[in-house]
Chains A and B, each alone.
Chain A
């Protein structure tokens, strides 16, 4: 299949307007005849479900949690970017577009990225109207702060809980439409497969997690809004239930998967402290403004941090990147930490961390100032670790965070399966090879509120006249049987190892070979190991309980089965990209100083993988840069 991104005609700033002027519309009387399934209730899913319902469509919205309000958008802290230019500091749609394209190391489409910036300002208007208590100045206007990698102040925020406040606004709007009986909310429902009839998405098979019941749901279009897949590493900043199952099943049914290896590693999370650890908590990047990062010069130094004299400390970021120092960008800071840890200089019980030290800041600024700036973070640190960071340095470590990769979508956010859409973090659209801070809440919201509700008409208009299928169509029963068969197979293995045990093994392989830095040999080995894990999993996993009851162990097993397959594709994708760009760093492609070396000649494309009976076929969507010429990202 030839990939067609369907970029509209016209100048960059006119494309979205031109698209809207020409796309098909559906009259209100007909809208209520059309049903849309939305999978996921985060900012993308809830925003889309509420807005589609307001437009008059019949909507069913699924989430695996007990309520739509738990979706992991809730955990985003920092803020949301918008080109409002409220600070009068020279910001504009163009500048925001440029920052985002460059931040993504020129691996996203100009037209998509421009639209992201273009729709950012009305999104802030929307959230203010919905009652989001954004930070304000004394005069009553909205406040802004700056965020990594840009020179203007365009980030809007609600304390350290911006994601929570935006999600709750979307959740409220969604439940307003539940009350209006235009949305049927299905919490504790996991979508286990997608039903395709005559090449079009026509429904899903879902399991009621409270009761175990498996059911068919038919619709005229299916929208996936299922979030990121970084739980493939097991230890990540994501929620425990975050998974890639729905997009993986869609992939296996024909949706191309784009750039699966583009995953962002965040430099400042709390390190793993035990084998049983399930989650890595993020500490705000802002700590790097005053904290200094170091490791002991001596390998395996057993002394306490405070007993190591200055001369025996290696402030490696300051040493390697004298101009940026401790404020080096995320990917650089993460890789540099990994390099020191791998070289045997890691600290802490598992030798997997580096120090973030406030000693000098406290000496220079006084404890009071440090407390004013970071008090809440120091408290959080003490709550989790039991350590007082005013007296000894924090221990921090890189952690898997965001997935730029996801299902390939065109300008309309439709996957390669007609009628199947992917929105929010689960698609590959605007971020390229690296996401800028405070752009994730933006992208996910814009996809759900503004883009999808405008593009889905264009497809559904054709469905009005198309043949209607119900859940009694043979394809529904075929897919349902396959779902039941997979569950049955899992329960029957009755082996000797737990699901978590396999997940830990997979996570270690992925973290070692397919995270911050990758190389050919390592990736090839990883693919072999992943195949072995898959084999062992289906021979030796043990899942207790049955399928007709609430069974958290079965849920985990089903998600892990998909993660194992996705992991292989991530490694394949990293292997084919013989260049370093953004979060994808191939050790073979670096300058003498260790800088990433991008290769625009051969790799200015989006990789889009087709699933073909257990094999993966690579397709390439060539990226054209008409308005901005790709330049080298330099941090020196």
Chain B
């Protein structure tokens, strides 16, 4: 299988980047998209060129490290999947495939297709936890949590932190990411004591990091590999009003 990749190359954060074309032969349909990039990188090494830097680690769709724009869509042509789970059989012989990094000013480019998503860590840092020290826990079954609440918390907790929601949003909003963590913890009884503080601190950090506002286009939930529903954002907003009034 032969395709042409047009890939964003950029030396570092401050350098000017550009799309460069690479005609790549010897691919197979069973190769994952990232393996096709591995293959291209081996070719580049033997041609004495620098490899293309891209993010990846677990390659089974759970670590959230991979993620690029492929032909204008976050994580490629399919809904709700990660880049590592995309295979070359989704493309045709002779296709031109444009590969770009996540585009959001809150995710500055580090090199080529690699961006800096540490803004996500800083949002979590402002309250995406339960303040309790190791060793202070009571017996696990002492607090009952209904199956419905637990399942719904799990739905929100499934976020892998890849950043596709931000990258695909026309406003580069981090509302889906932030809402998922707030709702995960604020639904559970263990998260109640600091529920309001968590919500106010995390949303403040989200704004501080210059993510855009959510205008409910729903683009994020189409790309989200963890199927996080946009209803999480509505729930966060409702909780926000409550926190402001009663927090």
Residues of A within 8 A of B (CB): 47, 50-51, 54, 65-70, 72, 74-75, 84, 86, 122, 124-126, 128-131, 133-142, 158-159, 161, 163-165, 168, 171-173, 175-176, 178-179, 185, 187, 210, 239-241, 273-274, 276-279, 281-282, 349, 383-386, 449-450, 453, 496, 498-501, 542-545, 549-553
Contact = CB atoms under 8 A, between A and B. Distances in A.
B44 interface: yes
B150 A134 contact: yes
A544 B59 contact: no
A70 B134 contact: no
A164 B28 CA distance: 31
Given A131-B185, A552-B54, 16 more contacts: A50-B134, A66-B114, A74-B58, A124-B140, A125-B140, A129-B132, A136-B145, A140-B147, A178-B125, A239-B59, A239-B63, A278-B35, A543-B45, A549-B12, A550-B111, A550-B114
Nearest to B132: A129
Contact of A138 (B49, B140, B146, B190): B146
B3 interface: no
Given A140-B145, A386-B87, A122 B137 contact: yes
Interface of B: 11-12, 28-32, 34-36, 38-39, 41-42, 44-46, 48-51, 53-60, 62-65, 81, 85, 87, 89, 110-111, 114, 116-118, 120-121, 124-126, 128-141, 143-147, 150-151, 153-154, 157-158, 160-161, 184-185, 188, 190-191
Contact of B144 (A126, A139, A210, A349): A139
B159 to A, nearest CB: 9
B58 A75 contact: yes
A200 to B, nearest CB: 26
A270 B80 CA distance: 22
A131 B194 CA distance: 13
B154 A133 contact: yes
Nearest to B115: A66
B46 A542 contact: yes
Given A70-B63, A128-B190, A142-B141, A179 B126 contact: yes
A50 B120 CA distance: 19
B35 A70 contact: no
Contacts of B34: 278
A542 B29 CA distance: 28
Nearest to B123: A175
A176 B131 contact: yes
A79 to B, nearest CB: 14
Contacts of B53: 550-552
A386 B29 CA distance: 10
A172 B181 CA distance: 10
A175 B124 contact: yes
A383 B85 contact: yes
Given A67-B161, A125-B140, A276-B39, A75 B146 contact: no
A498 B49 CA distance: 12
B42 A500 contact: yes
A240 B42 CA distance: 16
A55 to B, nearest CB: 9
Contacts of B54: 552
Given A74-B58, A128-B140, A133-B150, A175 B121 contact: yes
The binding surface of chain B is classed by DSSP as: loop
B57 A240 contact: yes
B57 A67 contact: no
Contacts of B185: 131
A605 B221 CA distance: 54
Contacts of A74: 58, 62-63
A70 B65 contact: yes
A544 B161 contact: no
A173 B138 contact: no
B138 to A, nearest CB: 7
A321 B136 CA distance: 48
Contacts of A86: 141
A165 B104 CA distance: 27
B121 A67 contact: yes
Contacts of A383: 81, 85
A545 B139 contact: no
A125 B143 CA distance: 10
A501 B111 CA distance: 25
Contact of B138 (A125, A141, A553): A125
Contact of A84 (B35, B114, B132, B140): B140
Contacts of B143: 128
Contacts of A70: 57-58, 63-65
A75 B191 CA distance: 25
A54 B129 CA distance: 14
A498 B114 contact: no
A341 to B, nearest CB: 19
A553 B144 CA distance: 50
A106 B236 CA distance: 52
Nearest to A137: B147
B38 A131 contact: no
Contacts of B128: 172, 175
Max chain A CB contacts within 10 Å: which of B56, B62, B158, B190? B62
A130 B131 CA distance: 8
Contacts of B151: 133
B132 A130 contact: yes
Contact of A179 (B29, B46, B125): B125
Contact of A542 (B38, B45, B118, B157): B45
Nearest to A386: B89
A67 B159 CA distance: 14
A279 B86 CA distance: 14
Given A274-B28, A278-B35, A176 B125 contact: yes
Given A75-B58, A134-B150, A141 B125 contact: no
B57 A129 contact: no
A278 B120 CA distance: 28
A176 B129 contact: yes
A544 B126 CA distance: 40
B49 to A, nearest CB: 6
A50 B131 CA distance: 12
Given A67-B117, A133-B188, A386-B87, A51 B147 contact: no
B150 A172 contact: no
A141 to B, nearest CB: 5
A587 to B, nearest CB: 32
A544 B50 contact: yes
A276 B38 CA distance: 8
Given A276-B35, A544-B44, A172 B12 contact: no
